[in-house]
Amino acid sequence: MLFLSRKSMSIEKFRVDFPCLNSNKPPVYLDNACMTLKPTQVIDAMNEYYEEYPGCAGRSHHRFGKMATERFFEARKTISKHIGAKKPEEVIFTRNTTEGVNLVANSFGLKKGDVVLTTDKEHNSNLIPWKVLEKSIGIKHVIVQSKKDMTFDMGVFEGLVKGTKLVSFVHSSNLDGYTIPAKEVIKIAHENGALVLLDGAQFAPHHKLDVRNLDVDFYSFSGHKMLGPTGTGILYGKMDLLENLKQFMVGGDTVKDSTYNSFVPEDIPERFEAGLQNYAGMIGLAAAVKYLDSVGKENIPRRENELNIIASKGLSSIDRCSIIGPPDVRDRGGVLSFNIQGMDPHSLAIILDGSEIMIRSGMHCVHSWFNAHKINGCARASFYFYNTVEEVEMFVEKVVEASKLR
Amino acid sequence: MVFCIVAIVVFGILGIFSAKYRTYFKEALRCVARQATLRKCDTDFDNKIKSKIVSKLIGKSPKMAKFVYKRFSAISWVFVVIMFASIGLTVFGVVNAVLYGNCNGEESTELCLLNPGTTGDGGFSSIGGSITKELKAPSADDDPRIGGENSSVTIIEFGCLECKYTKKAEETRKALTEKYGNKVKIIFRNFPIPSHPLSREAAEASECADDQGKYWEYHDKMFENQKGMTIEKMKQLAVDVGIDGEEFNQCFDSGKFRDEVEKDRQDGLGAGIYGTPTFFINGMPIVGPAKIEEFTKIIDEELVNTGSAIQEVTMQKPVVDVCTE
């Protein structure tokens, strides 16, 4: 459905759906690993809720309430289908990936001495919850170091996974775009009696996700990185595992009944969705995944990687420019993290912004990796299916121009 | 650090008008505060601003952008020096303006931006207000005059005996009297400037001198002794030019010419005067101690039109150079 060409006609068909890109001189938006743009379909779906049926779902018997209940359930169903879940109830609505990871971390029932494995390239979302538990209850947080070429070291993992309670890995890294061999990791983890939680914030928006095929136990991702509204996220969990999770955040909507002395927990997934749910947000997220289905998710990774190949090749002409991540660009997905020696990455981002080219600079919430490698951050361009070859060429041209300031 | 010092002042002022600049101001302040206490600046403020400036320049002049990027610290130093020099000069000017009515100092006749409308080579003492108001030729009244009574050219000067610019214009007045003799009539009308403490008293004293027929002698003496003038000095100067001291003192102490001086001033205000000296040559205004050529040009033209009467003339942009309040 998508193809890479200079004319990019098939992309233009989609670009018209994004209000941000519909001006005479649209910005070159290359900060998609942080936040994607929103198509009209998502905005309209949210507005429709607010304008036409702004009621509470699952409790009110009036027309608004009934419509909200129906659309909210449909949203859960759409998203569960999109990720290949067995049933909608396995989809827990959260605010973002971080909340999903925290929910597992605090509900899993970890005890002192239990081992949790992470990689060395974790976003703070999948690092800090474990560091907190390490301090509070004494779990053992063990890090699987990457190989020198920044790819996943299966040998090291196999050596560490024995006796591990939970493997919590980033599926695709927001640092360098590298995707771990998740299916193999999960298989080995299960063989060793460990369960697996994946941080899919950077994988789910770009790849076709099939949680059952992966056989992953928990999977957390965000809506705002996949065309959806901010403040939306998903935690997938196998039903039998969800049933054994303790409640984390509790209160409104998490119980069926309560007395002064006791309470009856709500069914799954509502028991994990404390307080009034984000109806408009989740209806918007459902519209986003429908949109992604219409784009054809199976084509997105190839397109993004081809854009990355053009960009990486362009930057290779810059003297003292280094790219963070595996040496083979095909392993870096749609993420291009780089440094130009003698130029502060924040300066570069601000200078590019002057030409309406938007990239990210800093440590990208992977402070631990940068601090360990004594690197003071980097510049990062991250692509999505709606980016064009022309945009990438303009990005390269402006980075080259800025590099001459040194 | 260096740039942040400039930024505190610049964004502090801009922040009064826009919240956007208040954020910059806070960042710059934090940066300076941290570095002043030997801690690392954690806002990266100077780098951000440098990058913003370079991002604007790079599309227009890559060479200039590169120069700014590489020499930003040195450029910041230049701005710091300029800023402190500007602050120093501004304070100096304001103090002078308050104390002496001219921002360049007591003795200066140089251009002062704090005095509205100074565009010539001299200054003027302002009474404040708009300088674009129209100047209309006033009446000659019965004030002291010199030159030919029936001359076809009449110059009416509104001046202040305490104003250094009026004093400066005396050279021109005398030169004109010498050059044209009875062909020109020069009338001096009082326009005391309130910022000069004894200007009204000096005007009244000169009227008392006129009462005894010694106006111009006293007028010249007053300008000669303008600096450090006191009431006692005014009275002594009267005696020095041969005026009856007792009669002069009685005239002065009784305020005999207070109304006359006020009438002069009101006529001046009615004519739209905003500073001294202001001249009207057959109604054509010249503000400030202008070059003599400006006067002679007008006078010569008027003399060609022999017998022309004083006409009311309106000018939107008069020649400017005066002493104001």
Please name the CATH architecture into which domain B145-324 falls. 3-Layer(aba) Sandwich (3.40)
pLDDT exceeds 60 at position B130: no
Q: Which residue has the tokens 């030919």?
A: B148
Residues within 8 A of B (CB atoms), A 25-54 only: none
Considering only A370-384, B13-27, B102-116, B220-234, which range has the smallest mean pLDDT?
A: B102-116
Among A28, A347, A353, the strongest candidate for a mutation testing the B interface, having the largest count of B CBs within 10 A, is A347
CA distance B220 to B199: 15
Fold of A44-295: Aspartate Aminotransferase; domain 2 (3.40.640)
Measured from the Cβ of residue A41, the count of other Cβ atoms closer than 10 Å reads: 15
User: ipTM of the assembly?
Assistant: 0.80
Q: Is A404 in the B-facing interface, judged by CB distances under 8 Å?
A: yes
A34 annotated active-site = no
Amino acid at A287: A
pLDDT exceeds 60 at position B119: no
Helices and strands of chain A, counted as H and E runs: 14, 15
Note whether A355 contacts B55, CB cutoff 8 Å.
yes
Of A349, A402, A406, the CB nearest to B58: A402
Average pLDDT over residues A254-270: 95
Could you report the per-residue pLDDT of A349-361, keeping only the tens digit for each? Answer: 999 999 999 999 9
CA distance A29 to A384: 9
CATH 3.90.1150.10 fits A9-30+297-403, yes or no: yes
Helices and strands of chain B, counted as H and E runs: 12, 8
How many CB pairs below 8 Å do chains A and B form together?
A: 44
Average pLDDT over residues A41-59: 96
3-state class (DSSP) for residue B8: helix
CA distance A30 to A362: 15
The pTM of this model reads: 0.71
Of A344, A352, A402, the CB nearest to B47: A344
Contact between B254 and B287 (Cβ < 8 Å): no
pLDDT exceeds 90 at position B316: no
pLDDT exceeds 70 at position B112: no
Which residues from B are below 8 Å from A353, CB to CB?
55
Bridge partners of residue A221, in order along the sequence: A234
Q: Where are the domains of chain B?
A: 2-100, 145-324
Which residues from B are below 8 Å from A403, CB to CB?
none
Q: Where are the domains of chain A?
A: 9-30+297-403, 44-295
Note whether A346 contacts B51, CB cutoff 8 Å.
yes
Could you report the per-residue pLDDT of B247-304, keeping only the tens digit for each? Answer: 999 999 999 999 999 999 999 888 888 888 999 998 888 888 888 888 998 898 888 8
Of B47, B54, B56, the CB nearest to A405: B54
Residues within 8 A of B (CB atoms), A 308-337 only: none
**pLDDT attached to residue A181:** 98
